[in-house]
Chains A and B, each alone.
Chain A
């Protein structure tokens, strides 16, 4: 998997509107002498984008693994805790109401993604039966519906501006340099660290709440913390790359089918690698296939991921 990631990253740096030989790519990375134009293209355009693809892919893979473990539900993805709906609404707010301040888009998507998740947690984890999986998922569906409706409402009020939003809605990376990552990276960092500390608690939860309690854990607290880590990672990912939540659903399954084990000490890190590799590869395709026109990465992700997934699924049954 690490090899797949390195290969995808090299391809991502080498291919584009201008092809740069792999030798020059490596020379640039290791600070050796290369032609100035190649150096410029790699350092200013491609490297930030490749890093974005890696970080976003890893974040969505880990977010999916966290949620599927926390909710003990193979269908869990960042959709079910409202993040996708919230982040979509946050982005639409900027794109449709105030297109001039498009620089605010990542922050708005992040803020509303987290807001939606917090609302879901507030409803899902309080009151009688709080922390119950069905309750959390139902709360998630309700909040997601609310934000989707608000987004649809906005779109029908400003139909002429909707085309600008397509790129975000289907999910796509852009070559905007390091700016976005510079603002959002702390969220990724917090999310990844939280997720790392959830590896063992999620393993305990796999054997049921009672076994987790027997070994001294608090099942509700594990659920909340793991879901929070997922919400932070998925919101941060949406802020940079739009709505790619499908990756969060797909990757952990892919990783489990590949490895034949459900242990989170395997699923979590390998989901990070696999998510990064798949998104980087898909983004390279999206940039080059109709070059110089760049396509949004979302559909390519599905194009690459679904056949792979179906093939593994056939083998597993």
Chain B
């Protein structure tokens, strides 16, 4: 990989991402108090928590989409404050929760935009760039859709395009904010498998997700957030205990995992 360009040195042996006690304020209000996370190569970290716990804000902050007021973020050993523009695009790709879907833009056009981080201003795509775009489309399982207009795609297809755009950046880390939130069961399973494959290829993936059963099934590490803080980190089995689910979500539930399957047994109504 072409690391080491420019002034900031990236360290291949450092963790892909270290976020340490990140803090975000809007005006005087602290919407993120202290959130931490470590991501290594070939690892999928799921960030879970109730609505409003600060999951998206945390992801936007460590991705450099909004400025944190406190704490430290390092990408491959380099401080976030020293990474700008293309350098930042080289270390991480961010897949937003809700995509803007323009008309008159094909799948290939959109993925070309992801690849444009590799170009100088006014420079066109090279043959190598076109190959990289085709490869990203293939990895996101969108072959055959290249000439389709974005406005004709289903929710699941659009989400795969978003991931293809991110892959075309060629960054070692993919951060996806609720990529399966509005998808049906089949599309959710397809996206989950694809993310696992990317991890198998050595990428690091941070997944913001509220489906605990899904997080338990596909994540190597789970980070639990509550009221703007990360309160627990570890393997799904160690972290997602009935006690913690009860404390954080206020719901009596038990996570059951067997042979690669997972389910959340929830006590929906008070029977006692």
Co-assembled chains A and B: yes
CB of A69, distance to nearest CB on chain B (Å): 10
Q: Is A186 on the interface with B (CB-CB < 8 A)?
A: no
A210 touches B65 (CB 8 A): yes
A215 touches B95 (CB 8 A): no
User: Given contacts A214-B95, A215-B117, are A206 and B122 in contact (CB under 8 A)?
Assistant: no
Interface string of A203-246 (1 = CB under 8 A from B): 11011101101111110000000000000000000000000000
A197 touches B122 (CB 8 A): yes
User: Chain B interface mostly helix, strand, loop or mixed?
Assistant: mixed
* Across-interface contacts of A260 in B (CB, < 8 A): 104
Q: Is A28 on the interface with B (CB-CB < 8 A)?
A: no
**30 residue pairs from A and B, CB less than 8 Å apart:** A196-B122, A197-B121, A200-B122, A203-B113, A206-B102, A207-B113, A208-B100, A210-B94, A213-B64, A213-B65, A213-B94, A214-B65, A214-B89, A214-B93, A214-B94, A214-B95, A214-B96, A215-B89, A215-B113, A215-B114, A215-B116, A215-B169, A216-B86, A216-B87, A216-B117, A218-B85, A260-B104, A261-B106, A262-B105, A263-B109
A204 partner, pick from B93, B94, B116, beta carbons under 8 A = B116
A261 touches B117 (CB 8 A): no
CB nearest to A212 among chain B residues:
B113
Q: Is A39 on the interface with B (CB-CB < 8 A)?
A: no
* Across-interface contacts of A214 in B (CB, < 8 A): 63, 65, 89, 93-96, 165-166, 169
CB of B84, distance to nearest CB on chain A (Å): 7
Binding site for A on B (CB under 8 A): 63-65, 84-89, 93-96, 99-100, 102-106, 109-110, 113-114, 116-117, 119, 121-122, 162, 165-166, 169
User: Given contacts A260-B104, A263-B109, are A216 and B88 in contact (CB under 8 A)?
Assistant: yes
* Across-interface contacts of B63 in A (CB, < 8 A): 213-214
Q: Is A46 on the interface with B (CB-CB < 8 A)?
A: no
* Across-interface contacts of A200 in B (CB, < 8 A): 116, 119, 121-122
A208 partner, pick from B86, B99, B114, beta carbons under 8 A = B99
Q: Is A256 on the interface with B (CB-CB < 8 A)?
A: yes
Closest 5 CB pairs of A and B: A262-B104, A208-B100, A216-B89, A210-B96, A214-B94
CB nearest to B103 among chain A residues:
A262
* Across-interface contacts of B117 in A (CB, < 8 A): 215-216
CB of B21, distance to nearest CB on chain A (Å): 23
Which of A207, A210, A215, A217 has the most chain B CB atoms closer than 10 A to its own CB? A215
B96 partner, pick from A204, A208, A217, beta carbons under 8 A = A208
* Across-interface contacts of A262 in B (CB, < 8 A): 102-105
A211 touches B122 (CB 8 A): no
A210 vs B96: C-alpha distance in the bound complex, in angstroms?
Answer: 6
User: Given contacts A213-B65, A216-B117, are A207 and B99 in contact (CB under 8 A)?
Assistant: yes
A261 partner, pick from B84, B96, B99, B105, beta carbons under 8 A = B105
* Across-interface contacts of B103 in A (CB, < 8 A): 262
